[in-house]
Structure 1
Amino acid sequence: MTRVLIAIALAFIVATAIAVVYARHEHRVLFVELSRLERDRDELNIEFGRLQLEQATVAESTRIDQIARERLGMKTPESGDVVVVRP
C-alpha cells in the first residue's frame, strides 16, 4: 500500500516539475515577444511624431498659401507670365 502511495506521489512530483519547466519556458517566450512588441511600439511612436511634424509643416504652408490668395490677392502665375532669366 505504501509503495502505491509513494509511486503516486512521485508521479505527481514529476508532473509538477515538468509543468514548472513548461511554465518557465512559456514565460521566456512571452517575455521575448513582449520586448519585441514594445520595441515596435516605440518605433511607431517615433514615426507618428515625425508624421505629426510633417503634417504641421504642410498645414502651415497651406495656410500661408490660403492667406496669400485671400488677403493679398496673389495667384499662381500662368506659364506665359513666367520669364526665365539666363546669365
Structure 2
Amino acid sequence: MMRVLLTMLIVLNVATAIGIVYARHKHRVLFVELTRLEKDRDELNIEFGRLQLEQATVAESTRIDAMARGKLDMKFPEATDVVVIRP
C-alpha cells in the first residue's frame, strides 16, 4: 500500500514538474510573439503618422489650386460664363 502511494506521489510530482516546464515554455513563446506584435504595431503607427502627414500635404487646397492652374490650365469661370438654371 505504501509503495503504491509513494509511486503515485512520484508520478504526480514528475507530471507537475513537466506541466510547469511546459507552462514556462509556452509563456516564453507567447512573450516573444507579444514583443514582435508590439514592434509591428509601433511601426504601423509610425507609418500611419507619415501617411496622415502626406495626406494633409496633398489635400492642401492651395496646392490643389496651383496644380489645377499649372498642369491642367484650369481657372475660375468669369461671372459672364456662369449660367444659373432655375426649376
Which bin holds the TM-score, normalised by the shorter protein? 0.7 to 0.9
The count of corresponding residues between Structure 1 and Structure 2 is 71
Identical-residue share of aligned pairs (%): 65
Correspondence for 1:5? 5
Correspondence for 1:53? 53
Unmatched tracts of structure 2, length 5 or more: 75-87
How far has the Cα of 1:12 moved from its partner? 0.3
Give TM-score, length-normalised by structure 1: 0.73
Correspondence for 2:18? 18
Query: Any residues of structure 2 matched to 1:1-87 within 5 Å, and which?
Result: 1-60=1-60, 63-64=61-62, 65-66=64-65, 76-77=72-73
Give TM-score, length-normalised by structure 2: 0.73
AA partner of residue 57 (structure 1) = T
Structure 1 outlier segments of 4+, above 6 Å: none
Correspondence for 2:83? none
